[in-house]
Structures are given as structure tokens and as C-alpha cells.
Amino acid sequence: MNRLLSRLKRFFVSRYHAFGYAFRGWWYVVRTQKNAWIHSVATALVLLLAAWLRLPARDWAVLLLAIALVWTAEFINTALEAVVDLASPGRNPLAARGKDVGAAAVLIAALISVITGLLILGPPLWARLFPSP
């Protein structure tokens, strides 16, 4: 029994530390990446607008997935940039290419999220702002 309790304790302590590392990474991205501030403002505006429009759960799910896609791309891009800088501190065309491709992934995610947001938020927003007589 003591062995089982010891294993459970180690498991939960390691999960606690893993969450700490994840939040430290999250804070690093928000603190150091200018685009993360744009994503933060866009996220807040979309969530507030969705709440104001009282969107159904399915629309919320799609919006949350789009938001998560952009944030995930930004986090992976930031990690990629850090690893590239570590591996290639000087100027290198391959390092630049890797960073450019990472940035392109964020751009694609952001553009698709904007289109998704317009498709979901546009019609109810239009109906709210310009009601039919």
C-alpha cells in the first residue's frame, strides 16, 4: 500500500511541475512575443462578441478551436525560433528559412481563424446591428 501511495504522490507531484513548466512557457510567449498581444486582444474581442451574440454551443466550439489553432501555432513558432537561435546563433539561410516557415504557419492559422470568425460571427452580428423590419 505504501508503495502505491508513493507512486501516486510522485505522479501528482510530477504533473504539478509539468503544469508549472507549461505556464512558465505561456507567460514567456505572452511577455516576449509582440504578436501574442495581438492574439490576446483578438481572443478577448471574439469571446466578448460571441457572448454578446449568445452564440450556440457548436459555434462556441468552432471559435474556441480556431483560437486554439492560432495560439498553438504561435507557441510552436516561438519554440522553433528559440531552438533555431540555439542551434544557429549566427546568420544562416537555413535558419532564416525555418523561422520564415514557422511564421507562415502562424499566418495561415490566423487567416483561417479570421475567415472562421467572420463566417460564424458575421451573420448574427449583422442581424443584431441591422434588424429586419
Give catalytic status of residue 74 as yes or no: yes
Provide CB contacts within 8 A for 74, sequence distance 6+: 29, 33, 35, 36, 39, 106
Q: Are 78 and 29 in contact (CB under 8 A)?
A: yes
Catalytic residue among 39, 50, 66, 74: 74
Distance between CA atoms of residues 98 and 102, nearest Å = 6
C-alpha cell at 3: 508503495
Distance between CA atoms of residues 72 and 75, nearest Å = 5
Neighbouring C-beta atoms of residue 111, cutoff 10 Å: 11
Catalytic residues: 74
